[in-house]
Amino acid sequence: MESKEDDLTFINLQSACSNLKNLLQTSTNFETSLSKMDSTFDQLQATLITTSRTIAPLQSLAMATKALDARINRAVSPALSLLESFKLAESLQEKLVKISSKLPSKKNPSKRLKYLIKYVDCVDQLNNAIDSITRECEPAIQKLQEVVEFLSRTKATDQYRTRRLRDTLVTLKALYETEVDAMRYEGILDEALLSLQDEYESILQQLKHKNIGDQTQQVDEEAEVDVSDLGSDMEIEVLKRIAETLARNDCLDICIDIFVKVRYTRAAKALMRLNPDYLRTYTPEEIDEMEWENLETAISLWIQHFELAVRTVFVSEKKLCNQVLAELMDGIIWAECFVKIADKIMAVFFRFGEGVTRSSKEPQKLFKLLDMFDSLEKLKSEFAEIFEGEAGVDICFRFRELEKLLVHASSKVFWEFGLQIEGNQDGLPPPQDGSVPKLVRYAINYLKYLATDNYSKSMAKVLRTEQIWKAGILSKPESDENLVKDAMLNVMEALERNIDFKKLRYKDKVLPHIFSMNTYWYIYMRTRNSEMATLLGEQFLKKKYKTVAEESAYMYQRQAWIPIVRLLEEEPEQLNNEVSEALTKGKIEAFMKAFNDNLQRHRSSYNIPEADLREQIREATVNLVVPAYSSFLNSNSSNSHVKSCLAPHSIEELLGKVFGAIDQKDNSKFTSRRRILKDQSALDTPASGEGSSDMKGFRRMNSNKM
């Protein structure tokens, strides 16, 4: 058993020994191979070193080629982009020509406007393409310049290629210097911009103010004035797009000039439809030469037209300016354009208004000046809003200056009216028949008209404004009512002095009292129960003027009739019949002569124009003369001369005729009145139609004819 195990071990040992021999042999062979490989590697290394030394110049050349390739690519890329921009511009030019050729055939306004939008879009695209070419051309030239310089310096390529590249650079420079500018300023784009300018002007011309003439009746303060849009949404959009396109192409000045010129013309023509020929007369000298009726009409038209221009024409024009030009230059240009449009027109209106204020200060102008002032006051806030901002400073300043001129002119006219009355004392003599002088009639109606609500408020504002200017803004002016009241009282006092002076110029003893009675009665009756009486006070007028009229009536009776009545006074002593008859005859003859003379003077020289005053004077005279005459006849009834005398009722009839006795049916309205000479404190009859009616206008009044 052990023998078998030993044999197996021996066999294994022999096998292992054989394997070791084989391994050793293999190692020997591998070592031999490694030696051969070392030799081969040494040879390969020597070869690589030789090869490396050979290809080193080629590596440097490859790196230079790579750098050159990068430089060329940097130059070619902008050039390729520039080429694409040129192609785009060329295609857009062809498209623009095509659209332009079809534009004249578009007669329908709506379709034409839509086509114009396409036209503007194409112009904008072409402009952008040319802008792109302009931006890209210079960098492309610079890159090519760098490449040409690099190749010339490094000689990285042959001279033929370098020369071709240099020729290309020269051509591109020439193209940049000539063709690009030509594309913008001389080519199809320029023609398109000219065409857009024409279309812009044409559309602006078509935007007209409508129904201007019909709106002259809507210019009062409370009326709603129709302010319509001048253009449709499409028209506004086209104008806006064209304006923006022109502005982007350095045509902003042209765009503004066209807009201002056309819209000024349109606004002016709209107002010319109102036939404002009066505006051609504007110097103070020319205005002074105008007939008052013509000047009055001209001022009324000026007020209407001025308000219409501000509230309709300029509001519409301002809105159009904002719609079309608001986005140009960050919105700072449109307001200036609007003011340029309005300035020339407003200058014409201001010029006329200033001429009126600087013309002669005739009394009748006061009411038209106040109308002008009131109109400006109503427009003040709207005017400031329309012409707001820095652009409207000058025109608002001129508006305020016109208001100042109106304040000065109105107050000066009124004060000079009082001075004219005061200075009229040496003018023409008083009325020969003792009637109311024209100056008094004019002045009273003038003041009554001024006291109406239409003018008293404006006059008060004028007087208050002038007082503040004189006394300073910190002063405390009187109330409006007191200002007008004091001003009117000054005129009334001047009128009283004028009346008193004229009264002294009569040589006849009776006429001064008839004149005074007529005049002061006229003043009282024309002012009582009126707005002027409310302002001055009814009791004041009654005490001031009615009392004077009553006193004058009493003095008239005393001078005209009492001396005649005294001729019939009885003698205190008893006389014999013969002397008594002779004395009675003498008294009757003296009475009748004086009575007839007095009647004749009343017929030819005395005048009491007021019917109610005349009737009361008649009754008072009848009550004074007829009873005394009847009593004298009764006392001397036995006298033969008395029987041939006129009967008392005949005397009354003669008095009735000389005083223009009113029919009995009309006398009834006087029967309930207290008579002047019976009760001087009462006479509350209503004002006559003449006194209560409003004056429709004033005529020119020469101071030397008042």
* pLDDT tens digits, 252-291: 899 999 999 999 999 999 999 888 899 998 899 999 999 9
Query: Does residue 700 have a pLDDT over 50?
Result: no
Question: Burial, 471: exposed, middle or buried (Cβ in 10 Å; 0-12, 13-18, 19+)?
Answer: exposed
Question: Burial, 469: exposed, middle or buried (Cβ in 10 Å; 0-12, 13-18, 19+)?
Answer: middle
- Tell me the Ramachandran region of residue 275: left when phi exceeds 0, alpha when psi lies from -120 to 50, beta otherwise: left
Helix (H) or strand (E) holding 146: helix 109-154
Query: Does residue 324 have a pLDDT over 80?
Result: yes
pLDDT range class, residue 227, cuts 50, 70, 90: low
- Tell me the Ramachandran region of residue 529: left when phi exceeds 0, alpha when psi lies from -120 to 50, beta otherwise: left
Residue 685 contacts residue 525 (beta carbons within 8 Å): yes
Instruction: Report DSSP letters for 472-511, one per residue.
Output: -TTS-PPPHHHHHHHHHHHHHHHHHHHHHHHHTT--SSSH
Q: What percent of the chain has pLDDT over 70?
A: 75
What mean pLDDT do residues 231-241 have?
89
What per-residue confidence (pLDDT) applies to 481? Answer: 75
| Among 634, 654, 648, 652, residue whose Cα is nearest residue 584 | 634
Fold of 194-214+228-399: Monooxygenase (1.20.1280)
What per-residue confidence (pLDDT) applies to 348? Answer: 94
Query: Does residue 705 have a pLDDT over 50?
Result: no
Tokens of 438: 């024209």
**3-class DSSP state of 290:** coil
Tens-place pLDDT, residues 662-679: 333 333 333 333 333 333
pLDDT range class, residue 345, cuts 50, 70, 90: very high
Tokens of 232: 């449709």
What per-residue confidence (pLDDT) applies to 690? Answer: 37
Highest mean pLDDT among 113-117, 485-489, 628-632: 485-489
What per-residue confidence (pLDDT) applies to 222? Answer: 45
Question: CA 6 to CA 402: how far, in whole Å?
Answer: 150
State the DSSP code for 310: I
Average pLDDT, the chain: 79
194-214+228-399 and 438-657 share one fold: yes
The answer to which of 32-41, 235-244, 372-381 has the lowest mean pLDDT is: 32-41
What per-residue confidence (pLDDT) applies to 303? Answer: 94
Tens-place pLDDT, residues 368-423: 999 999 999 999 999 999 999 888 999 999 999 999 999 999 999 999 898 888 87
State the DSSP code for 279: G
CATH superfamily of 438-657: Exocyst complex component Exo70 (1.20.1280.170)
Tokens of 407: 């304040």
Kindly provide the b/e burial profile for residues 491-520, where b requires at least 16 CB atoms within 10 angstroms of the residue's own CB: bbebbbebbeebbeebebebbbbbbbbbbb
Between 109 and 449, the higher pLDDT residue: 449
What mean pLDDT do residues 450-458 have?
90
The answer to which of 201-205, 290-294, 630-634 has the lowest mean pLDDT is: 630-634
Domain residues of the chain, as ranges? Answer: 74-186, 194-214+228-399, 438-657
| Residue the block writes with tokens 């066209």 | 258
Between 346 and 79, the higher pLDDT residue: 346
Q: What percent of the chain has pLDDT over 90?
A: 29
Q: Please give the single-letter amino acid code of residue 471.
A: A
Between 67 and 525, the higher pLDDT residue: 525
**3-class DSSP state of 454:** helix
What per-residue confidence (pLDDT) applies to 159? Answer: 63
| Residue the block writes with tokens 């007669």 | 107
Query: Does residue 516 have a pLDDT over 70?
Result: yes
What per-residue confidence (pLDDT) applies to 696? Answer: 38
pLDDT range class, residue 122, cuts 50, 70, 90: confident
Tens-place pLDDT, residues 600-616: 888 888 888 888 898 99
- Helix then strand then coil, % of the chain, to nearest 5: 80, 0, 20
Residues in contact with 461: Cβ distance below 8 Å, sequence separation at least 6, in sequence order: 373, 377, 480
The answer to which of 146-155, 341-350, 620-629, 693-702 has the lowest mean pLDDT is: 693-702
The answer to which of 75-79, 344-348, 462-466 has the lowest mean pLDDT is: 75-79
Between 696 and 655, the higher pLDDT residue: 655
Query: Does residue 456 have a pLDDT over 60?
Result: yes
What mean pLDDT do residues 120-130 have?
81
What per-residue confidence (pLDDT) applies to 689? Answer: 35
Tokens of 428: 């023409």
What mean pLDDT do residues 670-698 have?
33
pLDDT range class, residue 515, cuts 50, 70, 90: very high
